[in-house]
Structures are given as structure tokens and as C-alpha cells.
């Protein structure tokens, strides 16, 4: 199988997570991704940890490893003549440029959107910011946890309305990267017709507001302000986390028929006052939760899950991260990659979440590359550019 984006060259000027995640998604689909890093230090995340692995005198950040597979690395000082010259050549050859500088920084370096399109009218530029590129707070620096708070996400996450909680991964960065990659492939498709690229913009704020789903329409349509309700759904009951003899279990009843099956199987009258309909059960959630916790207390997790499965009740356990990656179902979906790192040797990485029906590989590649060491491919990239220039001359 030919990789879907194997004819695309991506110049990744971004650092941290949102931009690198977008570029990695494109790399997973076969694009050649050239990561431009600062000399000496590289991407900020090369220094983020613990945990670190590898040699004590030059440790490698596992955070960096999470967002930079299938990339090449070159170091350039973009304030120097040489750095700007090499970047200019990359822009002239590239199809996509990804950047997440604060608004205006790339302009000051001499690579405004207008200049980039003068160099290469077909270039698709993905620009990711914290709070948007314009508006009254368009220049604010973007950090995931701050954006989670400002976007309202933390107000609907946590045990209760008085205890806002961030999501356990940098979800704003990840979503911004995903929306950004989606915008890039859309612009590349459009370029097939128009022959010119365009600027794609998104932000941590936009990505998180874009993920509000029912919490957004609850306010914009009904005027209802959602609040955190812990591990239970605000609009469905029972739908959440419950306790059994030796652990926690999650149950999702999305219909009245499922509720009746569940209740009757565990000696609960489904028509009990306050529990007869989903509307009643959401109002009286504590009553429903207490009834199910009492019923489940007689069962160990290993016995309760099969019984629920037999009844057709959607349910699952709460796994720790190690048990997720050791799970045969996770591995069957291509979600663990084997790669060879130039320093660490053979390592396993989380894999891309997309598979195609005509291959058995994760993403669009038959082989994946480990995240690069700093400037690992610098000489080869410079030689490639020199060869292209010689052919052009």
C-alpha cells in the first residue's frame, strides 16, 4: 500500500505538543515531516520530565517521544542568515508548514504568511495559537491547563461543582493538533482544485470549545449552565462509575429497556418511584447509585463483568495505564508500535488511532520511525536541498 500522504513534505516549526501532534498525525499517514529545532536545546519537551530514559549524561524525555515519531530533525537558528536561508529553501520545497509561535513571532522572523506564500503559493500553513490569532486576547500565550480553565472544560470536570479538575492529559493541545491536521488535509484537498495553499488557524480555546458537545448546546439553546458531577452523566442514569466487591465498574444504560434488564437482574424494581424513567433517575441519581452499589457489593469484578455482558449491559472496568498497554485488545488494534531508536534501541510507542481496511498496519505506513535525536538528519536534509537546487540550476 502507498501511504496516503507520502508525496507531502511537512515543515514542523512547532514545539511542545499541539503543533508537534498535528505534524505527527500527518507523518503517521506517510508525509515526510522535517522538524526544525533550536540549536543546542531543541524542542522544549526534550527537557520535560521525569520520566527520562537513556544515558544519565544525556537523558531522553518520554514526553518528547510521545509527539515526534515519524519525523526528521534539523537544527536551525532562525535569527541567523544561514538558518533563514535553509528555512527558505524548505518552504520552497514543502507542502505544509506547521507553527505554534505566539501571534506575530513568525512575522518578526521574516516569515509572515504573505512572505511564505510569495516563496511558495502552494504552501498550506497551519498556525496554532493559545486563544486565537485576533480578538481582544489574541496575543495571549497558550498553555493547556490555563486553556482548560478558560474554556469552561474544568468547570464540568471533577467530583463536584466546587472542585474543578483538569483532564489527566493535555487535552487542549491534543485536540488543537487534531483539528489542525484535519484543517491541513482539507486545505490540501482544496489545493488540488485551486492550485494554491491557504492559512489554517486553530487554537487551544477553539479546540476545547469545539469539544463542548451537549454542554455547549445546553447553554446556548436552553440557558442551562453545566457543572461537574463527578463520574456520572448529567443527562443519563445509570451511566457512570459504581463500586463492587473488589473494585470499580462503569455501567452505561442508554435506554429504558437496558435499565429494566439491569434492574430486574439485580432484584431492583425498575418502576420504583423516582427511578421509573431516565428523567426521574437523573434527578434522583443518588438513589439509583446507592441501589446499584448495594446490588454490586455482592460481586467481585471478575464475576460482575461477565454477568453484565450476558445481559447485554454495556460495562467495563477502570484500567491503569500499564494494564491498557498490556491488554491484548489494545495491541490487536495497532495501538503499540515497535520502533528502533538510535540511542535507546528497541522501544515501544503508543501507536496512531487510525487503520485502513486494506492494510494491517497502524496509520498509513507499513513502517514507523522512532522520534529523532536532535539534528539527527541535519546533514542529510541540507544535502537533499543542495541536490534539488543543483537540479533546478
How far is Cα 358 from Cα 93, in angstroms, rounded to an integer?
Answer: 31
**Phi/psi of residue 52, each to 5°?**
-115, 155
How far is Cα 137 from Cα 206, in angstroms, rounded to an integer?
Answer: 13
Which residue, among 352, 318, 316, has the nearest Cα to 336 in the 3D structure? 352
How far is Cα 153 from Cα 149, in angstroms, rounded to an integer?
Answer: 6
How far is Cα 43 from Cα 75, in angstroms, rounded to an integer?
Answer: 10
**Which residues does 53 contact at the CB level (< 8 Å), separation at least 6?**
59, 60, 62, 344
Longest dimension (CA), the chain: 84
Active site residues: 173
Q: Which residue has the cell 460495562?
A: 315
Amino acid at each position: 500500500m502507498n501511504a496516503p500522504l507520502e508525496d507531502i513534505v511537512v515543515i514542523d516549526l512547532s514545539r511542545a505538543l499541539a503543533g508537534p501532534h498535528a505534524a505527527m498525525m500527518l507523518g503517521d499517514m506517510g508525509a515526510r515531516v522535517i522538524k526544525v529545532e533550536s540549536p543546542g536545546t531543541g524542542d522544549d519537551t526534550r527537557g520535560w520530565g521525569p520520566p527520562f530514559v537513556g544515558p544519565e549524561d544525556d537523558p531522553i524525555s518520554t514526553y518528547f517521544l510521545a509527539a515526534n515519531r515519524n519525523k526528521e530533525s534539523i537544527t536551525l537558528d532562525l535569527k541567523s542568515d544561514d538558518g533563514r536561508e535553509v528555512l527558505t529553501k524548505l518552504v520552497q520545497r514543502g507542502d505544509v508548514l506547521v507553527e505554534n509561535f505566539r501571534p506575530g513571532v513568525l512575522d518578526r522572523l521574516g516569515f509572515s504568511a504573505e512572505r511564505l506564500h510569495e516563496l511558495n503559493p502552494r504552501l498550506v500553513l497551519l498556525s496554532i495559537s493559545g486563544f486565537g490569532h485576533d480578538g481582544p486576547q489574541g496575543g495571549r500565550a497558550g498553555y493547556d491547563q490555563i486553556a482548560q480553565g478558560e474554556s469552561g472544560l474544568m468547570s464540568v470536570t471533577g467530583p463536584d461543582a466546587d472542585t474543578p479538575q483538569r483532564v489527566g492529559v493535555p487535552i487542549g493541545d491534543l485536540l488543537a493538533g487534531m483539528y489542525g491536521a484535519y484543517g491541513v488535509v482539507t486545505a490540501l484537498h482544496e489545493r488540488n482544485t485551486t492550485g494554491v495553499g491557504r492559512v489554517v488557524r486553530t487554537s487551544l480555546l477553539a479546540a476545547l470549545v469545539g469539544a463542548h458537545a451537549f454542554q455547549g448546546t445546553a447553554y446556548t439553546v436552553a440557558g442551562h449552565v453545566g457543572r461537574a458531577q463527578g463520574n456520572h452523566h448529567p443527562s443519563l442514569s445509570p451511566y457512570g462509575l459504581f463500586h463492587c466487591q473488589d473494585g470499580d465498574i462503569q455501567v452505561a444504560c442508554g435506554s429504558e429497556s437496558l435499565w429494566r434488564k439491569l434492574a430486574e437482574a439485580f432484584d431492583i424494581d425498575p418502576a420504583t418511584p423516582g427511578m421509573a424513567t431516565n428523567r426521574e433517575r437523573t434527578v434522583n441519581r443518588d438513589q439509583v447509585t446507592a441501589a446499584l452499589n448495594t446490588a454490586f457489593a455482592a460481586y467481585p469484578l471478575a464475576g460482575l463483568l461477565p454477568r453484565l455482558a450476558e445481559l447485554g449491559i454495556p460495562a467495563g472496568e477502570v484500567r491503569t495505564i500499564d494494564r491498557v498497554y498490556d491488554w491484548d485488545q489494545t495491541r490487536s488494534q495497532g495501538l503499540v508500535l515497535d520502533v528502533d531508536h538510535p540511542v535507546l534501541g528497541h522501544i515501544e510507542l503508543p501507536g496512531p488511532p487510525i487503520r485502513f481496511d486494506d492494510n494491517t498496519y497502524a496509520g498509513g505506513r507499513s513502517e514507523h520511525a522512532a522520534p529523532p535525536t536532535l539534528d539527527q538528519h541535519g546533514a542529510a536534509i541540507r544535502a537533499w536541498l543542495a541536490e534539488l537546487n543543483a537540479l533546478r540550476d
